[in-house]
Amino acid sequence: MNTSWTADNNDSFDVICLSHLRWDFVYQRPQHLMSRFGKNGRVFFFEEPVFTNVATHLDVSPRDRNITVCVPHIPHGTGESEAENLQRSLLEEFLKEKNIENYILWYYTPMALGFSEALDPLAIVFDCMDELSAFDFAPPLLKTREEELLKKADVVFTGGQSLYEAKKSRHHNIHPYPSSIDRAHFLKARAMKDEPEDQKNIPSPRLGFIGVIDERLDRDLLKELAALRPEWNFVMVGPVVKINPADLPKADNIFYLGGKSYNDLPQYLAHWDVALLPFARNKSTQYISPTKTPEYLAAGLPVVSTSIRDVIYPYGELELVEIADTAVEFAKAAERLLTVKHDANRLEKVDKFLSENSWDDTFARMKHE
């Protein structure tokens, strides 16, 4: 790739990150990587626009570690083409105002190419963390924009091995980087005693899920599990997105606690018996590599997942995670796992695997590609 982006020149550029995910939504891959860039330079995190009843402007707010979040505000009723023009103007004016001259463009969404294609960065990075075109409500232009971005990018990363396999023939410098782990953060769960207020009155055994609750959740599976095991309690932690909350399965033993801050997650995990990855098997999950897999394991929890390819390999293959698809199979797997949370041999095996997996290491290796 462009030699301006190397470890030796770490302090010589800013990062303009163009993201479909909001910084304050769920703390995940973009936040982990951009926070590490922020230790040595400025990061400007441009989100998708918010359509409002006020005049066009760029809302700019600081975060920790040299992170600045920039949100375009655009009037309701603005057409797609005009919205891109407004975002282009806001971005270009911002670069001039902040004297941002030496920078890389780091894309999470190819749609941002529509207002950033005229910029002259030191390098272009496409961190393809998901197959966005397979998600509900994906823009019709997304596939076309992705093809354009693949032609312009100096380097491409994928959020998992299966996504890499699907795209490796489309770029000369593409590398798989499954999501990593902040081990120290989630290891805290193994020793925490205090309970979150909204969870402490839920009886054990508790089987839990943390993550965005959207079209990727197998709602039928959750409903059937709750009916099969009424004595178990299912704790669902995360925001509900793109689906009607009224369509979620309801039962006396299913508890939706909403989204929580990243800092609070270990406290919830600390008091579960089994962690769940109850993903549907559909086009939106074909290439996912769930960040929660290593996070659950670091917290000390046994895990059962549906047959998601990037969970099967390596976690299922190494017998770190149980794999099951039907409600009966899932329940049997979870029943086996209810007795092994504190098994020393299991935890030793988990810790050995996770010792080679960290966001610091992933970040360092990405910068040398």
Q: Which residues of the chain have pLDDT under 50?
A: 1-10
pTM for this model (two decimals): 0.91
- Residue 43, exposed/middle/buried by CB under 10 A (0-12, 13-18, 19+)? buried
Q: Are strands 174-176 and 303-305 parallel, antiparallel or unpaired?
A: unpaired
Tell the residue number behind the tokens 């953060």, with chain if given: 185
Residue 27's pLDDT is what?
Answer: 93
Token look-up 């992705």 returns 146
271: its two tokens? 């008091």
**At CA 7, angle to CA 64 and CA 294, rounded to 5?**
60
Query: CA distances (Å), 261 to each of 24, 209, 213, 266, in order?
Result: 9, 15, 15, 10
- The answer to whether the peptide bond before residue 294 is cis (omega within 30 degrees of 0) is no
What confidence score (pLDDT) does residue 139 get? 87
Both tokens of 199, joined, read 């969870």
d(CA 272, CA 302): 10
Contacts of 234 (CB under 8 A, 6+ apart): 206, 207, 208, 209, 222, 225, 226, 253, 254, 255, 276
Give 309-366 pLDDT, tens digit per residue: 999 999 999 999 999 999 999 999 999 999 898 899 999 999 999 998 999 999 999 9
Give residue 11's pLDDT: 56
CB distance 21 to 44 below 8 Å: no
Q: Which of 70, 62, 83, 89 has the alpha carbon at shortest distance from 19?
A: 70
Q: What pLDDT shows up at residue 28? A: 94
| For residue 205, cis peptide bond before it (omega within 30 degrees of 0) | yes
Beta bridge partners of 236: 209, 256
Which amino acid, one-letter code, is at 92? E
**Are 178 and 294 in contact, with CB atoms under 8 Å apart?**
no
